[in-house]
Amino acid sequence: MAKQVFQHTFDNGLTLIAENMPHVRSATINIIVPAGCAYDPLNMPGISSVLSEIILRGAGKNNSKELSLAMDGIGLDRSCSAGTNHIRLWGATLSRNLPKTIDLFADIILKPHLPKSDIESVKLLAAQEIMSIEDDPKQKVMLALRKTHFPSPLGNDRRGTLEGLKAITHDALTKFWKKNFRPSGTIISVAGNIEWEPLKAQVEKLFGKWKGGDVPALKLSPGKGGTSHITKDTQQVQIGIAYPSVTYGHKDFYAAIGAVNVLSGGMSSRLFTEVREKRGLCYSVWASYQNFKEVASVICYAGTTTDMAQETLDVTLKQIGNLTKGIKEEEVKRLKIGLKSSMLIQEESSSARAGSIAVDWYYLGRVRPLEEIQKSIDSITTKSILAHVKEYNPKEFTIVTLGNKQLKYGK
Amino acid sequence: MTFHQQQCSNGLTIIGEVIPEARSAAVGFFVRTGSRDETVEESGVSHFLEHMLFKGTKKRDAAQVNKDFDKIGANYNAFTSEENTVFYASTLPEYHQDATEILADILRPSLRSADFEMEKKVIIEEIGMYEDNPGWMVFDHARKLFFADHPLGNSVLGTTQSIIDLKRDQMLDYFQRRYIASNITLVASGNFNWDTFLKKAEKLTTNWKFGMARRDHIRQTSGSGEFKLLEKKTTTQQNVVMICPGPPAASPLRYAANLFAMILGDQSGSRLYWSLVDSGLAESADCSFHEYDGAGAFYTSFSCDPKQTHKNLEIVIKQIHELITKGITEEELAQAKSKVLSRIVRAGEKTANRLQEVGMTWVYLRKYKSVDEDMQTYEKVNLRQIQQLIERYPLLRLTTTSMGPLAKLKMPEIPKQPKVPNAQHS
């Protein structure tokens, strides 16, 4: 059964992509609007996040409670959240309820009430969210790592700051919505048991007259990088490490993914084996690939008791360095099967597919067929990974640690 | 979708749900053992043993176990709860048999001393990780306070000290007591051939020991009803968990209980959402129903600005009181049902989720329920059953635990369990 992917870009710049999955009964819809925290005004960090909360509080003919009831009534699980580049409105339900979902989502995007009476409660929520980072040391260190490593504003935390929250007014929120909610750069992706023509007609009817200019280019300024420590009285020391990699769609992209998987692809991967299995240094250690359109990096994490922290950091850095010394055939074999499995098993989930096709479209301007991804995975070899890690051998790491003892960062 | 089952002569049960259109196949061993089955001296052994199963067998050392799973691109792991220890793997259909073989092999571990000492360090790290996370810690304390001397209050992780003190021989003894064939269910779900699977599985497990594993102290509890404040100066938010009794896993009221929890504390559209989160009084609020062998409980939790804690406690109590005295509306029940049905369908599309669902349903009910049967059961829940739930379980008998920067916190007065109107006895 060949899978069907449909796509259409309307005259106003809005893109609709859909994947028909006849074997499921659910449907998932994702709407990403280019209004993420990278577009927050400098004096109001956190405004996109506040908007993503208040935007669900009434839209079109429904007030906040009515809207919530309408969505619950069709069993729609949903969320709206701000990311770096986008605000994402996500919903999953039975496919027969998809048309109703799209009606409600169109109201939320195009006709939100943004009720003035809710500003204070939404800001209260946002403030608590900022405060609660303090109670989650792992999250705190990873947010600090992103902020230090990635160019601004890409490394910013969507939650913003307490001062930023204070500055946010109802006017400013409305202005931010008007300015940044636009069809150009917005992607609606749908996956599940769906019919393309009626879907396209409905989206055209609801969003066809939506207007707005192009997405403004971001001005990036480099992150400061280097090493830093946050002092906090905790049981464990949290360690975050980052170094640059190639972007999604780069010719070396799959070699880079291969390299990350040699480090952290499964429990037989190098970090898990060397740091946890052989030395018992920690419970959690991993590396993963993280990307933006402009830049990409490998991000590593380890959390460990104070006494073991120095060794954990040293062993982890050594393993990253050792990549250039050689990659084994069996490692590559294992990681390729792992990648292939994830790719195929993803077909069981309308939610995963709706996400994946949107990612493809955002980065590449097209949705890659399975055969193409399969070919790319097949192209990974010990040679291709080795060539990549040699070319991108990190000269410098960004390292952030948190805990009651500062570590030595080597050379 | 077809269901199969087989009881082996050594007591092992093998069950399978075949879904020909699935993209993957999953397999898992469900061992009916957890922290409630531990003695005081063994505290944490179930979870530690779960880790040790990945450390190798006569045939494989630890590295080989990981390599063999990764070689077939398996998504594999294990977890331990108060009552179950589950080992599972999902793969592409062509590797289902290999996954079954590796899992069956690790279920007979060597428990080598050197591995035992090494893994001890990892467990202590895991405990350290949770201790730095108050949002998680508060639940462990809350369960202990609610269940008091009931074995369901036992900590799954144990303490750093109990893990340091644990000897390899104690673990071996526990293993021999608990990991016997009759206490284990082998479950498969997804795109696989039942006959081939059964033949292979029987061959792999034929030498497993016959015997009986007992579970003691299966009884209901209404909880201690106590209140406890745990001061943790280094945190910023106040976390609260309130537990009250509910029906056990085998009760026909479990479906009503799940819907009730959803009406009180689902993330969206619930009573707690509107009274606590919408107004910004709490960062999050939740109610979930936990079912166990012979006991059950509703866990209501929230986290908030410390100053707000007392007022929020009053609000939660008021909400529960209102649910008891005024009941719920047809409309609320219909909303909760449509949410549950949609979640059942979506979860059912992923084979890995089906494995857990089919396995747990079997472990607790000795029954199979397809996705559609599960949906039908929820559809049939009516207001009368919700009313029965409210009538039978003292939902205002709350055991409350709070952790955060507060040094003092007054627990509000809890109204007496009111007479339930229109209660229909059955």
- Measured between CB atoms, which of B71, B135, B283 is closest to A125? B283
**Which of B121, B128, B237 is opposite residue A236, by nearest beta carbon?**
B128
What local confidence, expressed as pLDDT, does residue B1 receive?
87
Give the residue from A21, A274, A341, A380 with the most B CB atoms within 10 Å of its CB, the best one to mutate: A341
Write down the ipTM of this complex: 0.94
Q: Which residue of B has its CA nearest to A139?
A: B133
A380 & A270 share domain? yes
Chain B residues whose beta carbon lies within 8 Å of the beta carbon of residue A65? 274
The verdict on residue A61 lying in a domain is yes
Residues 248-287 of B with CB under 8 A from A: 268-269, 274, 277-283
Check whether residue A333 and residue A364 sit in a common domain: yes
Task: Report how far residue A170's alpha carbon sits from residue A4's, in angstroms, rounded to the nearest whole number.
Answer: 44
Assess if residue A392 is contained within a domain.
yes
The Cα–Cα gap between B202 and A231 comes to 56
Question: Are A197 and A258 within one domain?
Answer: no
| Other C-beta atoms lying within 10 Å of the C-beta of residue B244 | 23
Q: In percent, how much of chain B has pLDDT > 70?
A: 98
Query: Is the CB of B94 inside 8 Å of chain A's CB atoms?
Result: no
Same domain for A233 and A176: no
Domain identity same for A203 and A233: no
Cβ contacts of A277 on chain B, cutoff 8 Å: 62-63, 66, 118
pLDDT over threshold 50, residue B426: no
Predicted confidence (pLDDT) at residue B425 exceeds the cutoff of 80: no
pLDDT < 50 stretches in chain A: 1
| Contact (CB<8Å) B234/A233 | yes
pLDDT at position B77 is 97
The distance of B10 to chain A (nearest Cα, Å) reads: 32
Cα separation values, B53 from B86, B108, B178, B204, Å? 11, 8, 14, 16
pLDDT in tens, B109-121: 999 999 999 999 9
Tell me, yes or no, if B126 comes closer than 8 A to chain A by beta carbon: yes
Distances, alpha carbon A378 to alpha carbons A309, A336, A367, in Å: 38, 7, 19
Stated as kind and residue range, the H or E segment containing A19 is strand A15-20
pLDDT of residue A1: 46
Q: How far is A404 from chain B (nearest CA, A)?
A: 12
- Distances, alpha carbon A202 to alpha carbons A16, A22, A199, A271, in Å: 11, 20, 5, 49
Q: Do A125 and B277 touch (CB under 8 A)?
A: yes
A143 and A190 inside one domain: yes
| B23, B132, B304 ranked by CB distance to A344: nearest | B23
Of A122, A340, A342, the CB nearest to B280: A122
pLDDT of residue B210: 86
Q: How many CB atoms lie within 10 A of CB A405?
A: 12
Which residues have CB under 8 Å from B288's CB, separation 6+? Answer: B261, B265, B298, B299
B13-72 pLDDT, tens per residue? 999 999 999 999 999 999 999 999 999 999 999 999 999 999 999 999 999 999 999 999
Q: Inter-axis angle of helices A253-264 and A329-345, to 10 degrees?
A: 100
pLDDT, tens only, B189-226: 999 999 999 999 999 999 998 888 999 999 999 999 99
Nearest to B265, CA basis, from B325, B331, B319: B319
CB of A265 within 8 Å of a chain B CB? The answer is yes
Q: How far apart are CA A260 and CA A308, in angstroms?
A: 24
Residues A196 and A236 grouped into a single domain? no
Which two tokens mark A166? Answer: 């204070």
B66 touches chain A (CB under 8 A): yes
- Residue B333 half-sphere exposure, CB side, CA atoms within 13 Å? 18
Q: Is A72's CB within 8 Å of B338's CB?
A: yes
Do residues B40 and B213 lie in contact, with contact meaning Cβ atoms separated by under 8 Å?
no
How far is the alpha carbon of A277 from chain B, nearest alpha carbon, in Å? 8
Q: Which residues pair with A96 in a beta bridge?
A: none
A378: which strand partners? none
Minimal CA separation from B121 to chain A, in Å: 5
Identify the residue among B235, B270, B349 best suited for mutation to test binding to A, counting A beta carbons within 10 A and taking the highest: B349
Strand order in the sheet with B184-190: B2-7, B13-18, B184-190, B25-31, B85-91, B75-80
Q: Which of B66, B73, B339 minimises the CB distance to A75? A: B339
A234 and A160 belong to one structural domain: no
Same domain? For A311 and A368 the reply is: yes
Please give the class, per CATH, of domain B227-404: alpha beta
Residues of chain B positioned with their CB less than 8 A from the CB of A282: 122, 125
Test the A interface: residue of B118, B119, B283, B375 with most A CBs within 10 Å: B283
- Contact map slice: A 197-256 vs B, CB within 8 A: 232-236
Structural domain for A263, as ranges: 227-403
Half-sphere exposure of B18 (CA within 13 A, CB side): 12
Query: Which member of B62, B91, B338 has the closest CB to residue A341?
Result: B91
Q: Are A380 and A255 in contact (CB under 8 A)?
A: yes
B202 shares contact with chain A (CB less than 8 Å): no
**A283 in the same domain as A193:** no
A140 touches chain B (CB under 8 A): no
Q: State whether A197 and A239 are in the same domain.
A: no
Beta-carbon separation of A341 and B92 below 8 A: yes
Tell me: pLDDT of B301 over 50: yes
Distances (CA, A) of B189 to A17, A72, B29: 32, 30, 12
Closest residue in A to B70 (Cα) is A334
Q: Which stretches of A133-213 are DSSP H helices?
A: 137-149, 162-167, 170-180, 196-207
The residue to which tokens 């029940």 are assigned = B333
Q: Cα–Cα distance between B396 and B264 in angstroms, integer?
A: 13
Window A:14-33, CB contacts with B under 8 Å: 23-26
What is the maximum alpha-carbon separation in chain B?
A: 64
For residue A22, what is the nearest residue in chain B, using CA coordinates? B21
Buried b (16+ CB within 10 A) or exposed e, A267-304: bbbbbbbbbbbebbbbbbbbbebebbeebbbbbbbbbb
Q: Tell me how many domains chain A contains.
A: 2
Contact B237 A282 (CB under 8 A): no
Q: What is the pLDDT of residue B138?
A: 96
CATH number at residue A117: 3.30.830.10
From B23's Cα to the closest Cα of chain A, the distance in A is 6
Which segments within A124-264 are labelled E, that is strand? 187-192, 227-231, 236-245
Among the candidates A148, A179, A207, a domain finishes at A207
Whether residues A49 and A168 share a domain: the answer is yes
Which of A63, A64, A283, A336 to probe by mutation at the B interface, max B CB count within 10 Å?
A: A283
Query: Is the confidence at residue B422, as pLDDT, over 80?
Result: no
Sorted by sequence, the CB contacts under 8 Å of residue B351 that are 6+ apart come out as: A345, A348, B19, B22, B23, B24, B25, B26, B90, B189, B190, B191
* B237 reaches A (C-beta below 8 A): yes
Q: In the structure encoding, which two tokens stand for residue B214, read together?
A: 């007992």
CATH number of the domain at B2-205, out of 1.10.3210.10, 3.90.1170.20, 3.20.20.140, 3.30.830.10? Answer: 3.30.830.10
In the structure encoding, which two tokens stand for residue A247, read together? Answer: 């972007």
The Cα of A69 is separated from the nearest Cα of chain B by a number of Å equal to: 7
CATH code 3.30.830.10 region(s) in chain B: 2-205, 227-404
